[in-house]
Structure 1
Amino acid sequence: MSPPIQAPAPFQAPQAGATADARFDVVLAGSVFFDIVFTDLHGVPSAGTEVWADGMGSTPGGIANLAVAASRLGLTTSLASVFGDDVYGRWCWELLEEHEGIDLSRSRRFENWHTAVTVSVAQHGDRSMITHGHPSPISSDALLSDGISSRTALTELGVMSSLEQEPWWLRAAGQGTRIFADVGWDDTGAWDPAVLEPLSSCYAFLPNEREAVEYTRTESPLAAARALAAHVPLVVVTCGKDGAIGIDSATGEEVRVPAVPVRAYDATGAGDVFGASFVLGTLRDWPLEQRLTFSALCSALAVQQFGGSLAAPGWGDIADWWEATRASGDADLIRRYSFLQDVLPPERAGAVRRAEATFRLIDHFPPGRHTLSGAQGAAPRDERPAG
Structure 2
Amino acid sequence: MGKTEVYSIGRVIVDLYANDIHVPLRKVTAFNKYLGGSAGNTAVGLARLGAEAGLISRVGDDEFGVFLADKLREEGVDTGMVKIDPQYPTGLAFAALFPPSDSNVLFYRKPCADAHVSLEDIDFDALKEARVLTVSCTVLSQSPGREATLAALEANHASGGLNVLDLDWRPMFWTGAEEARVYYRAALRMADVVLANEPELSFAGGSDEPAEAAGRLRSLGVEEVVAKRGGDGVLYYGEEEFRIPPASVEVLNTLGAGDGFGAAYTYGLLQGWPTRKRVAFAAAAGAIVVSRHSCSEAMPSRFEVEELMDSAQRV
TM-score by length of 2: 0.84
Q: Does 1:234 align with 2:210?
A: no
Quote the offset at 1:161 in angstroms. 6.7
Contact 2:214 2:225 in 1 (8 A): yes
Map 1:205-284 → 2, pairs under 5 A: 205-231=194-220, 232-248=222-238, 252-284=239-271
The within-5 A match list for 1:60-139 is 60-62=35-37, 63-97=39-73, 99-110=74-85, 114-125=89-100, 126-133=102-109, 134-136=111-113, 138-139=116-117
The question of whether the paired residues in 2 share the 8 Å contact of 1:42 and 1:52 is answered with no
Q: Alpha carbons of 1:132 and 1:200: their partners in 2 closer, same or farther (altered >3 Å)?
A: closer
Q: Which has the higher contact order (CA 8 A, sep 6+)?
A: 1
Aligned to 1:298: 285
Larger radius of gyration: 1
Secondary structure, aligned partner of 2:5 = strand
Alpha-carbon separation, structure 2, partners of 1:116 and 1:164: 20
Could you list the per-position Cα deviations for residues 61-102 of structure 1 after superposition, in whole angstroms to 9, with x for gaps in the alignment? 1121111111111110111222234322222211210x2100
Match of 1:309 among 290, 296, 303: 296
SS of the residue corresponding to residue 107 of structure 1 reads strand
Q: 1:264 to 1:168 in 2, by over 3 A?
A: same
Deviations 1:193-252 (A, max 9, x none): 43224322211111222221233332422232233223311111111111111122xxx3
1:181 paired with 2:181, answer no
Q: Give yes or no for contact 2:188–2:217 (8 Å, CA) kept in 1.
A: no
Structure 2: which 5+ runs fail to align?
none
Q: Residues 157 and 196 of structure 1 are in contact (CA less than 8 Å); yes or no, is this contact kept in structure 2?
A: no
CA distance in 2, matches of 1:161, 1:85: 22
Is residue 119 of structure 2 the alignment partner of residue 141 of structure 1? yes
Note the residue ranges of structure 1 that are not aligned, 5 or more in a row: 1-21, 331-387
Partner of 2:14: 34
Contact 1:41-1:52 at 8 Å conserved across structures: no
**Number of corresponding residues:** 298
Q: SS at 1:71's partner residue?
A: helix
* Structure 1 residue 145: Cα displacement: 5.0
- Structure 2 CA distance for aligned equivalents of residues 157 and 132 of structure 1: 18
Report the Cα distance in structure 1 between the residues aligned to 2:12 and 2:108, rounded to whole angstroms: 12
Letter paired with 1:90: V
* Alpha-carbon offset, residue 297 of structure 1: 0.4
